[in-house]
Amino acid sequence: MGHTLLGVLGLFLLNTLLYGHAEAGRRGVTLTADRTIIPLAGRVTLTCSVEDPAGFKYQWYRQTSDSAGETPPHTQNVDESNRVISQGKYTCRGWRNEPYVVIPDSNEVIIEETVSNRATLTLQPNWPQIFRGETITLRCDIKDGGDTEWTYEWLPDNLNTPPTHNEYRSISVTEAHSGEYRCKGRRDSYSSTEWSDVITLTVSSNRPKAELRADDRDIPVGGSVTLTCSVNSSSSGWKYFWYRGEKTSEPLTSQLSAGPIRVSKEGVYWCRGGRGEPVYYTEYSDSVTIYRKVPNKAVVTLQPNWSEIYRGEMITLRCEIKDGGDTEWEYEWKTNSSEKPSNINEHSIRSVSASHSGVYRCKGRKKSEKSSTDWSDPVNLTVSYSKSHHISFKVKIVQFIKRLFWFMYIFKVNPQYVLIVQNVFDPLSIHVFIQKNNFPTEPQSVLTVSPSWLSAGASVTLNCSVEDQSAGWRFYWYKTVPDPSVSYYSYELLPGSSSGTEQDSYIVHGQTHTAGYACRAGRGDPVYHTYNSKPQFVWSADFHSSASLTVSPDRAQHFTSDSVSLSCEGNSTEWRVKRLSPEDRYLSDCTTWGTMNGSTCKLNTNRLSAAVYWCES
C-alpha cells in the first residue's frame, strides 16, 4: 500500500515537471529597451514580455563587465517593465507558480552609460589647406580623463583599427580622406563619452609650387637684393629652402627661413617650401637670375632723332653699351608704351602710332657671366597724331546735288577729307563742327609761287615748307593736270624731283602760260609723305594762248541783276570753268556757283564774286 502511494505521488510530480517544461518550450521571453544609451542624469526603460503573460513574474540579470558573471536576480516584479540607470548587459526570464513554469533567459540587451567627460577631436597640423601626401594626426582628448585607461572609437569607421587604446591616428592623406571626422572615449564595454564635435578635412590633389620674387635683379656695388619665396596664400606653416646654381644641389642651410632673405652674390636662385614631420615639399619655384652690376653705361638712341615723329613713320631704337669692347651682350628693354621690344640691341617699328608713345630704357647683360649694366637714361618717344579738341569754321560748297525731295551739299574740309551734309537749309552760313580725332592732323605742306603773273621769259620759283619746321624733309614738286570729268587735279612730277630735293625751292624755267603747281615733303626709309599742298597758280597774260575765256556781257562791272556767262574756246571739246576768289578757302568750279552747259558757265547772280576765273581742259 505504501509503495503504491509513493508511486502515484512520483508519477504526479514527474507529470507536472514535464508539463511545465513543455509549456516553457512553447513560450519565449523577449527583452526590449526604449533606448540603449543612458544620457547624462537620465534612465532607460527595459521591457520583458512573454506570450499570454497572465500570472508571470520576471527575474532580471545584469552583467557589468566583460569578465564578470551574472548577478543574481535583483528584483521580482508582477509586471514586465524595469527602469534602470546603470550600464551593463541585461537579460530576463519569466516564471509562474501554478502551474509552475520557468521560461529560459531572454535575449541580451546592452545598455551603455554616457559619462560626463567630454571628447575633443583635434587635427595636427591644423593648416587651412592640406595637400595630397602630407601626414596629419587626428587626436582624441578626454577632458578630466584622469588615470582611466580609455579606448577610442572613430568616425568614419575605417579608423577603428587596433590598437584602440591610442588616442591618435596618423594618416598620409589622399583626396579619399576628405570628409568629416568624430571620436569618443570608452571607459569600459558599457560606458563612453558622447561623440566629439565634427572636424572637416579637405585634401587638395595638386602639389603646390613655390613662387620666387626678387626686389631687383641687379646687385648694386657693395649691396644686396631681397629674395622672397612664397606658397599660395590659402596655406600656411611653410619654411623655405633656398638653392643657388642647380636646384638639385644641397640647399643653402644657413638660409632656411620663414621669410625673405638677402643675397649679395650673383647667380641662379631657386626655392621651395617645406612643412610638417616628415617634411612635405612643394614643387621648386621657377628660377630667378641675379646679376652683379658693371660700370659700363647703357645708352638708348632714337633714329631718326627728329623733334617730332608722325603716325606711320618708321623709327629705330638702339641700345649701345659704352666701352663694351668685344663682350657678347644680351639686352633688356623697359617701356610704359604698348610696344614690347625683344632682347636684342636694335628694335625697329615700321609704322609708329600713338600707342608707341612712351619712355624707353635699356640695359645690357654679359652672356659669359651674371653681370649687367644699370638702366640707361630714358628716351621719350612722342608720336603726333590727333588732338581731342573741337574746331569750328565756315566751309565752301564744292558740289550741290538736288533731287525731287532730297538735296545734298558736299564740302571740302581739307585736301584729303570731304564732308557730306544732307538737307541743309542755309549752306551759305553753316558752321561745320569737326572733331580732330576723326581727321588726323598729319603735317601739311605749304607752297608759294613767285611771281604770280608771268612776264615774257621769266622764271617761276616754287617754295615748299612744312608747318611743324621739324628736320629731315625732302621735297617733291608737281604740276597740276586738269581732268574735267572730276572735281580734282591729278599731279605730274616735275623733272629731277622723283627722289625729292634737299632744297625747299624749285625753279621752273620758260613758263609761258597759266599753270598750277603743288608740293609735298617726305622723309625716312620707307618714305613718309605729308599731304600735298594746295595748288598754287601762276597767271599768264599771253593773249595768243590756245585757250581763251570770254565774258558776256563784255564789260568791266556787273550787277547782281545781270545774267553773266563765261565761255571757253580753244582746241578742246570738254571744258570746265574754275574760280579762285579772296574769300574762297578752296578752288571751286562752275557746278558750285553756276550752271555748266557745254563750254559755257552761267553764273548764279546771287553767287557773283570778285574773283579770277579761267578755263581748263
pLDDT (tens digit per residue) in 150-161: 889 999 888 888
Burial class (CB in 10 A: 0-12, 13-18, 19+), 9: exposed
The three-class DSSP label of residue 14 is helix
Residue 7 pLDDT level (bands cut at 50, 70, 90): very low
CA distance linking residue 425 with residue 274, whole number of Å: 82
Statement: residue 408 has pLDDT above 60: no
Contact 606, 560 (CB under 8 A): yes
Statement: residue 331 has pLDDT above 80: yes
Residue 592 pLDDT level (bands cut at 50, 70, 90): confident
CA distance linking residue 201 with residue 179, whole number of Å: 5
Span 439-475, pLDDT tens digits: 445 678 898 998 888 877 788 999 999 876 777 899 9
- Average pLDDT in the 247-256 region? 70
Q: What pLDDT sits at residue 575? A: 83
Mean pLDDT for all residues in the chain: 79
Statement: residue 9 has pLDDT above 50: no
CB neighbours (10 Å) of residue 446? 15
Statement: residue 322 has pLDDT above 50: yes
Q: What pLDDT sits at residue 507? A: 92
User: Pick from 397, 386, 329: which is nearest to 592 by CA?
Assistant: 397
- Average pLDDT in the 295-314 region? 88
Q: What pLDDT sits at residue 477? A: 94
Burial class (CB in 10 A: 0-12, 13-18, 19+), 230: middle
Q: What is the phi/psi pair of residue 320, to 5°?
A: -115, 135
Residue 559 pLDDT level (bands cut at 50, 70, 90): confident
Q: What pLDDT sits at residue 300? A: 94
Span 353-386, pLDDT tens digits: 888 999 999 999 888 788 888 899 999 998 886 4
Statement: residue 275 has pLDDT above 80: yes
Q: Of 18-27, 124-133, 161-170, 220-229, which range is least confident?
A: 18-27
Most confident of 97-111, 238-252, 557-571: 97-111
More confident residue, 532 or 14: 532
Q: What pLDDT sits at residue 500? A: 92
Residue 120 pLDDT level (bands cut at 50, 70, 90): very high
- Average pLDDT in the 501-529 region? 88
Q: What pLDDT sits at residue 484? A: 65
Q: What pLDDT sits at residue 162? A: 80
Statement: residue 543 has pLDDT above 60: no
CA distance linking residue 411 with residue 430, whole number of Å: 11
- Average pLDDT in the 183-211 region? 90
Cell numbers for 493: 612730277
Q: What pLDDT sits at residue 328? A: 84
All structural domains of the chain, each given as residue ranges with its CATH number in brackets, are 29-113 (2.60.40.10), 116-204 (2.60.40.10), 210-292 (2.60.40.10), 298-384 (2.60.40.10), 445-540 (2.60.40.10), 547-616 (no CATH)
- Residues with Cβ within 8 Å of residue 295, at least 6 apart in sequence: none
CA distance linking residue 336 with residue 316, whole number of Å: 17
Q: What pLDDT sits at residue 121? A: 93
Q: What pLDDT sits at residue 613? A: 82
Could you write out the three-class secondary structure of 107-122?
CCEEEEEECCCCEEEE
- Average pLDDT in the 108-134 region? 90
Statement: residue 233 has pLDDT above 90: no
User: Pick from 239, 252, 249, 244: which is nearest to 269 by CA?
Assistant: 244
Residue 41 pLDDT level (bands cut at 50, 70, 90): confident
Contact 408, 422 (CB under 8 A): yes
Statement: residue 437 has pLDDT above 50: no
Q: What pLDDT sits at residue 396? A: 46
Statement: residue 132 has pLDDT above 60: yes
| Bridge pairing between strands 109-114 and 203-204 | unpaired
Statement: residue 250 has pLDDT above 60: yes
* Inter-CA distances, 463 with 221, 444, 466, Å: 58, 14, 11
CA distance linking residue 573 with residue 15, whole number of Å: 157
